[in-house]
Structure 1
């Protein structure tokens, strides 16, 4: 048995002692005791607890893999996530104002991806145990909106109807203004009999829509979401911001950056999270690689009132970024790439001397790399708004303001 002192928290939320030894569930400054196997103290006994240690509010905190930080105080988590951004910047020699983190309240997640497997007696639905394919049921989950938590029996029913005996279904549930929108992946082929049973589930649970492997199987109401002045119906399973509060914090930061712009480009635009609200003040050109998402954006814009023109372009910005001559039509750009960042597009933005860039990121590491490339080409990183809409997890997001100074 070893007694270790935790020196810091790693990016996956584990405590790290000298060695390094990884200790899940431990906090900096704590002394822990246990058996170390292959550099991991998997079942620590907390000998000296941190003043930041709290009792996890969720009964499933120890088993469910969805939350890694319920044992830490909110203040500690906010400071740690902010420091994750600070360290990513520091690795590239960058420093800037980090605004107070905007943390979404509990029970506000409007979408969740449940896993479900058939069992001998029915089905088991929930989330995976950390680093495992074992599913743990999560009734009364404190992360998701109560409407989604209450849908766990629906997920079990879907598993009983559509999962193979050995396979696992993924059931993505999104809370929309029209009701729950359900997208199922990994099930058996959709035939007439299954379609009829799913229609029955739609009526029983008052669903807005249910799709099966991307095809709409049940459509009772439009699963609309409000984006600015527009109502948008995202395609099944489309990317959306996780919480309304998180989306509002990111949007407010983006609007601050591009305020007063005469024409804006929104790159990796999705269904219009930023493009549609921004079009209330200026024309917007929205570019996205997934045509169905742009179709949803365009339909929302065409059926709204009081918006400036919004044009759309389906384009793979990784392989085919907007070039300098195309970018010079705009005086501000919003860019919200996936976790890998957008090196090719960033190079073109720098070469075009884009006056203002609002950069939204879900990965501080790739953001810091891209921001450093812009700073090297004459930009100033003015400030960053850190956003936590994945409460109690290690995930952190941000929106940044970059302006051209030379």
Structure 2
């Protein structure tokens, strides 16, 4: 490991500063373009030792856990709390612009729509047993070491207030020595905790955890590796006017604010479509809102999520018909003949995108498409396929659902212009 003085020239895709040197690029976390820094370098990656000359875009991070490693900082949950707001917005919007340009797509990218601190309703903590009880927090950047946190400024006030309770519950769960995921959803009427762990529980462990949950007023449910151990009250989420009981650990948008923005874009674009198909529908984020005006067919591979959507649709009043289909769209995409029934389509796949499925969509007669993605790179690939098939991009909207991170949500609206 060697010490060097570097000048940072730009930000990389993960939010690290990049310095150009005779030996190639060096990535420096927690730095900005214009910073002059002292770093310790090992294998092309550097540890920030000191900022000698700060960038004009550098600001004081609002979170005490953010920044280079010391006894209080080192949390890897955020990447860019030290950057001023305007250049931060430009950088994050630029991730979408660069992804589209890499595919030769000429489309205007709208201004970044941001969410406020404290708006994350779903947070995935890392936890592990220690001699003093469980440590609960987030991994250090590029590390499996967990940083204890006392507060998380992106998480909802309810989750922050419950951190002592959550740590007690993590201690009750921490049977094995291995680290585990501790996902917390701020739902009604209480927190929904889903533990994903590489160890098993004995019956005495289950009873201890159940007793611990009963003592914590803020917790509605706790599941372990998909099995509900205790449900004091069924957690609820509202998708528009429809109340859904999400399954343990099921996918939901991380921020309710961002979900509403995305849903408004999708619903407005597809409002005139008599029949709509929702691909990768989850528990009904879009399907149950679209059913206010359209017949909706929801397709999803995860059975519990699809069952939650179906139950919610059956209970709700005033919706158009909603049908559901359990189907792995990666292995068995909807074919051209099946797509003929729909005038509107929305897809919101995992980060891998919908490469196989969009090949059939591109040849279909579906008039309007809403493409939702948390990965601009795979979205750009899928949009390229649709454009080649005769679709035109009407708008591209980046949404900062994951504040101060390198992740950005995108909604692209398309319309068929030719076949």
TM-score band, normalised by shorter chain:
over 0.9
Q: Please, which runs of 5 or more residues in structure 2 have no aligned partner?
A: 68-73
> Is this contact kept in 2: 1:239–1:270, CA < 8 A?
yes
| 1:320-375 CA distance string (max 9 Å, x none) | 00001100100010000111111111010111132111000000000001111111
- Secondary structure at the counterpart of residue 241 of structure 1: coil
Aligned match of 1:39: 44
Aligned match of 2:114: 103
The answer to which of 107-116 and 294-303 deviates more is 107-116
Partners of 2:85 and 2:4 in 1: CA distance: 30
| 1:373-396 CA distance string (max 9 Å, x none) | 111121111111110111111111
Aligned match of 2:6: 4
Aligned match of 2:292: 280
1:372 aligned onto 2:387: no
Aligned CA RMSD, in angstroms, stands at 1.5
> Is this contact kept in 1: 2:339–2:365, CA < 8 A?
no
**Structure 1 segment 3-152 matched on structure 2, within 5 A:** 3-18=5-20, 19-62=24-67, 63-152=74-163
Aligned match of 1:154: 165
Partners of 1:32 and 1:353 in 2: CA distance: 56
| 1:86-137 CA distance string (max 9 Å, x none) | 0000011112122221111001111111122222222211111111121111
- Secondary structure at the counterpart of residue 170 of structure 1: strand
> Is this contact kept in 2: 1:23–1:44, CA < 8 A?
no
Aligned match of 2:70: none
The correspondence for 2:341, drawn from 324, 329, 340, is 329
- Secondary structure at the counterpart of residue 266 of structure 1: strand
- Normalised by the size of structure 1, how large is the TM-score? 0.96
The answer to which of 59-68 and 36-45 deviates more is 36-45
Aligned residue pair count: 406
Partners of 1:281 and 1:59 in 2: CA distance: 47
1:219 aligned onto 2:231: yes
The answer to which of 85-94 and 150-159 deviates more is 150-159
Partners of 2:133 and 2:40 in 1: CA distance: 38
Aligned match of 1:341: 353
Deviation at 1:44, TM superposition (A): 4.4
**Structure 1 segment 160-175 matched on structure 2, within 5 A:** 160-175=171-186
| 1:222-267 CA distance string (max 9 Å, x none) | 1010112211111100011001111011111111221211110000
Partners of 1:255 and 1:165 in 2: CA distance: 46
- Normalised by the size of structure 2, how large is the TM-score? 0.94
Aligned match of 1:399: 411
Partners of 2:188 and 2:279 in 1: CA distance: 26
- Secondary structure at the counterpart of residue 41 of structure 1: strand
